[in-house]
Amino acid sequence: MENVGERRRVLLYGDSFAQCVKCVQCFQDLLNNDRLFSQDHYLLNYGVGGYGTDQIFLLFQKSIHLYDDPLVVISFMTLDLDRSILPVRVGQKPYFVLDNDKLELKGLPINPNPEIFFSTHPPNITSYLFRRLLYGNLLPKEIASFLRRDKEHVRKKKEVNQRIILEIVKELRNKGIDYVFLIFHPHWPGVAALDEGETDWRSSFLMEILDRHQIPFIWSKTIFKQDRRKNNHSYEDYINPGHGHPTTYFNKLIADEIKNYALKNQNSSS
């Protein structure tokens, strides 16, 4: 904060795609050293590795009141939608359930000693062999999906995440805060690649919500496709193959979109 001065705060929320991995230049490095952006703006990065949409929402709620007239960038990686209903991911975490279409926070308080938590909340798997059948590609896809109750789980994820997104937008609009959503797309084994079509339910679900509620957004897959058609770069120029996160080059392309949005909206509050 000591470096911000009178410049407008640009707050970036998200998971490790926002926080960035150590081997690349991140958004605060790229934008706060960009002459045009940094003249009137300063980016503060609230990205936290491993976060889902639920924790992104909670951190947004806890911090947004600290700033006057910020520009807010709410970022999700599409798989963050799955994390929002989990009570445990690596460790205990808060999560939301819906009660009469209202979000109810669960999973609190967080036990600071994970050994105590896991000793009192052991895995409830009764048969690891059955789990192997369900998730090990040993059964026909339709049968495995039915036994896993995939449709029910997807419906639950959609309902909770739609409410989270709309609550974020509601608070931003009520406060008159400029904002844009930033959607990242993963590339790991078993996950659709950036250059494939929009076949994943997560992408189509997010796109439908953003369009229907007139939420401004940056779509990382579009940036990738446009730049690759123009420059014919290899896939590894955009994505680190070891962990699937964006390279410095790809971060720079996305940072330019954030910069353009910030410059376009810099006088919107005056």
Domain ranges of the chain: 8-121+161-264
pLDDT for position 269: 47
For range 213-223, the mean pLDDT:
96
CA distance 18 to 28: 10
CA distance 160 to 158: 6
* pLDDT at residue 227 greater than cutoff 60: yes
Q: Which has the closest alpha carbon to 196: 186, 206, 211?
A: 186
pLDDT for position 270: 42
**Helical axes 150-174 vs 53-63, angle rounded to 10°:** 20
For range 52-64, the mean pLDDT:
97
Task: Specify the CATH number for 8-121+161-264; select among 3.60.40.10, 3.40.50.2000, 3.40.50.1110, 3.40.1190.20.
Answer: 3.40.50.1110
Which tens digit of pLDDT belongs to each residue from 133-156?
A: 999 989 998 999 999 898 999 999
CA distance 244 to 250: 12
* pLDDT at residue 22 greater than cutoff 50: yes
CA distance 43 to 41: 7
Side-chain half-sphere of 97: how many Cα atoms within 13 Å?
5
